[in-house]
Amino acid sequence: CRKLDARLQPFRAGKRWEQAVKEAAHQGVDLTADWWFEHPKGLNHHTYATYGTAVSEVLVDTLTGQVRVERVDLLMDLGLQINAAVDIGQIQGGFIMALGYMLTEDLKVDDAGKQLNSSSVHYHVPTAYDIPIEFNVSLLEGTPSPAGISGSKSSSEAPLCLVNSVYLAVKEAIYAGREEAGRGGGWFMLDVPLTPERLRQAVGAEPEAMVVP
């Protein structure tokens, strides 16, 4: 604030705030400022860090590579909630955003770096049919933050990290599919996003398995 106030001083005499900002911007004055704050480490190493855990259940069609997220349970430590509804909304939105990165959003570019699938027809963001069928979100109680306002913590996009539970659940299902297909239970590389093509290739089921009895 002090940086911006100093830059605006030449434009503020006898003017309203909006007019001073407009004139400064017109004159090419940089009206942005940044600062990095690192909170002192406590016994818990990072007193402001947010923590969470997740359990996911998925259904994988090993013949088509389709994934359905049956159930997700999330538990987040966000200190004392100033507005629990906002925190839960952030958790839900962040997790679904990450679910798109994990399952459907396959960015493709050509040799020049131009995106090949720039429309929603070919670049698939999560829809209502992609969210978990059962989606449970809980906030850990009685854990005030020693560094936050009123004991709270920022929710932000921390829940993105919890989507790893979906990845690991899908991979466990593929392990089972590979065993059934006679490919053994050894480790295998599985890149993201987990598109049907990648999952079909990972399972390695023979074409004969696609025949309906």
Bridge-based pairing of strands 67-77 and 51-60 is antiparallel
- Give the pair of three-digit tokens for residue 1: 């604030």
Respond yes or no: is residue 157 known to be catalytic.
Answer: yes
143, 147, 166, 159: which is closest to 89 by C-alpha?
A: 159
- Give the pair of three-digit tokens for residue 79: 């200190």
From edge to edge, which strands make up the β-sheet containing 134-139?
51-60, 67-77, 134-139
- Amino acid letter at 143? T
Q: How many residues does the chain have?
A: 213
| Catalytic site residue from 38, 70, 105, 157 | 157
Phi and psi of 55, rounded to 5°? -130, 130
- The count of other CB atoms within 10 Å of the CB of residue 194 is 23
Residues designated as active site: 157
